[in-house]
Amino acid sequence: MTDRGPRTDQPLLRPLVAVGLYSVAMAYLEAAVVVYLRQALGVAPDVVFPVDFSAAANSLSLIELGRELATMVMIGAVGWIVGRSSLERLAWAAVVFGIWDIGYYVFLWLFIGWPTGLGTWDLLFLLPVPWAGPVWAPVAVSLGLIGFGLAVAVRLRDGGGVRMDAARFGLLALGGLVVILSFTLNAGVVISGGTPSVFAWPVFAAGMLIGMLAATSALRTASR
């Protein structure tokens, strides 16, 4: 299926400014909240591992689940408002996620000097198991989301088409799952109270390559 959008005189500027401002503001708020909460709990703001899985910490797990779900709802809502078709909504949501994620690390670095480098390890998510990886990995994912999301949005706003059939969408989803797998392979180390040190970058690279092939195929096929 090829998704096409109506041609407009201003294909990108207004939604890009709105999405960019929202994403940066969202990143600032989340970074500030992380600093406040860790200081309130008496945890050094720049210390991530080992992760506390005590009974007291686990009592906050439902709140953390709600926070992660709320973040995804906020990202999806902006994509829904800005986009004019299902595919364009997904594209803008990808852009929001990418800018928010990179901005989050930038603001943390400005606030507390963390991460100290792209090789610094971070705890990305906790559900259904802990996700962990060096900062460069989620940043690479976010750059890919921004690039592909903007490419799709621009194509649709210019009245062009993007061929995203079931096969390409499935390949894109497969790439994402492989990337997620690379983040969860250290879950056992994190749960046992250790600090991960070895990242499964070949698995990560394979997932990124699959996703890039699917994205490139969707754009190039429609352009012909």
Phi/psi region, residue 113 (left: phi>0; alpha: psi -120 to 50; beta: rest), is: left
Instruction: Work out the number of other CB atoms within 10 angstroms of the CB of residue 75.
Output: 22
- Report d(CA 25, CA 203) in Å as an integer: 33
Reported as a pLDDT band with limits 50, 70 and 90, residue 3 is low
By mean pLDDT, which of 2-6, 11-15, 110-114, 130-134 is the weakest?
Answer: 2-6
Distance of CA 159 to the CA centre of its chain: 27
121: pLDDT strictly greater than 90: yes
Both tokens assigned to 77: 């809502």
- Looking from the CA of 115 toward its CB, the CA atoms found within 13 Å total 20
Query: Does residue 47 or residue 129 have the better pLDDT?
Result: 129
Instruction: Work out the number of other CB atoms within 10 angstroms of the CB of residue 37.
Output: 12
In this predicted structure, what is the pLDDT of residue 167? 82
Reported as a pLDDT band with limits 50, 70 and 90, residue 224 is very low
Tens of pLDDT along 145-174?
999 888 888 888 777 777 778 888 888 899
Rounded to the nearest integer, the mean pLDDT of the chain is 84
In this predicted structure, what is the pLDDT of residue 12? 72
Bridge-partner residues for 123, per DSSP?
132
Q: Find where tokens 């797998």 sit.
A: 181
CA neighbor of 99 nearest in space, from 146, 39, 50: 146
67: pLDDT strictly greater than 50: yes
| Rg of the chain over all Cα atoms, to the nearest angstrom | 19
Query: Does residue 208 or residue 12 have the better pLDDT?
Result: 208
- Report d(CA 42, CA 45) in Å as an integer: 9
- Report d(CA 211, CA 209) in Å as an integer: 5
What's the DSSP call for residue 76? H
CB 199 within 8 A of CB 133: yes
- Report d(CA 25, CA 121) in Å as an integer: 24
100: pLDDT strictly greater than 50: yes
Reported as a pLDDT band with limits 50, 70 and 90, residue 10 is low
Average pLDDT for 46-55: 70
Distance of CA 97 to the CA centre of its chain: 5
Reported as a pLDDT band with limits 50, 70 and 90, residue 24 is very high
198: pLDDT strictly greater than 60: yes
Residues whose CB is less than 8 angstroms from the CB of residue 198 and which lie 6 or more positions away in sequence, other chains included: 186
Reported as a pLDDT band with limits 50, 70 and 90, residue 56 is low
